[in-house]
Amino acid sequence: MFKSRNEPILPIPADLYDEIGDLAERVQALRADVTRIRNRYAELAQSPKSLRVDNLGAPTDPREAVILTHTALRAVDRDLETVEKGLTYAHGPASRISLTDAAVEHREQQLAQQRPPIERTR
């Protein structure tokens, strides 16, 4: 089953499961930030006479620039929603994975071999 001492030490599936959950929480927080910023741009769109744009690049209208920004942020949110759904989907089967007893024992042996020996001094 275990061939070489140079093989990688397997990660603990429960730790990976937790990492998926942590990542999903970060994506949710990021989506909330995107929504907050998008709403702020919607506020700007309500006051187009208070806005101006620079004269760099192609001419554009301030309201159009705000709408384009708002639209792009909406697309970002949709993409993040897809990521969030994917993580939720991955979380299900990930909850079913565990190492066999033999793999756990082998993992512990590998870790023990990596630890430096304890030096005793008087």
Distance CA 50, CA 102 (A): 69
Domain segments of the chain: what residues?
A: 13-105
CB atoms within 10 A of CB 78: 11
Of 77 and 55, which is predicted with more confidence?
77
Distance CA 33, CA 41 (A): 13
Average pLDDT, the chain: 91
- Cβ atoms 1, 102 nearer than 8 A: yes
Distance CA 64, CA 52 (A): 11
pTM, entire model: 0.79
Asked if the model's pLDDT at residue 1 lies above 60, the reply is: no
pLDDT band at 2 (very low <50, low <70, confident <90, very high): low
Across the range 59-71, mean pLDDT stands at 93
Across the range 40-67, mean pLDDT stands at 92
